Amino acid sequence: MTAKELSRHGAEPPAGLLLAAGEGSRLGRPKALVELDGERLVDRGVRTLRDGGCAPVLVVAGAAQVEVIGAVVVPNPDWRDGMGSSLRAGLAALPPGCPAVVVALVDQPRVTAAAIALLVAAYDAGAEIAVATYGGAPRNPVLLRAEHFAAVAEAAVGDMGARGFLRAHPDLVTRVPCDDVASPDDIDTPEDLAAFTRPDR
């Protein structure tokens, strides 16, 4: 099923934005290039966004030069300033008329296409902003409608990303439970990566 078929009444689907610019200082290498189950995390993230109903998909790169099939790579020369700079770069690179975007992080490989699809369904049902929750706590990914892009970008400083804007505007947020279809566990350290590659994961 294509992204357009997934979106309501054939309306233009939300774009996908994968933040993948960091150097992975605690991991010892850029997370975008880490392989899990024979697939780079950056490719896994792009596939997840596409399969969940997003088009086009953009990848914000920084510490590592990457080429990604099926995605537009957006360079962020200010990646050292933190995640906020990558979010601003990605939002600025979205195509004109883009109605919404799902923002995901490259280091959360257990976020699934099913979780993305739940956010897209919330958007189709009229949500202004949709946030995946796990155990009731808001995490990632996050869907933003276009009318909030500028304000989110302005509030994205340091490693804050969209969090500051979301906390300031709880009335705009639709919480989307994703416990049954995904996990927010991330890969920050070699120990985290080892845990993800255990046979029982």
The pLDDT tens digits for 84-123 are: 999 999 999 999 999 999 999 999 999 999 999 999 999 9
Q: At 9, is the pLDDT very low, low, confident or very high (cuts 50, 70, 90)? A: very low
Work out the end-to-end distance of the chain between its first and last CA atoms, rounded to an integer number of angstroms.
Answer: 28
Q: At 82, is the pLDDT very low, low, confident or very high (cuts 50, 70, 90)? A: very high
Residue type, 150: A
CB–CB of 26/189 below 8 Å?
yes
1 pLDDT above the threshold of 60: no
User: pLDDT tens digit string along 121-161?
Assistant: 999 999 999 999 999 999 999 999 999 999 999 999 888 88
The contacts of residue 69 (CB under 8 Å, 6+ apart) are 43, 46
Which DSSP symbol is given to 33? G
Of the candidates 74, 91, 83, 101, the residue with the CA atom closest to the CA atom of residue 163: 83
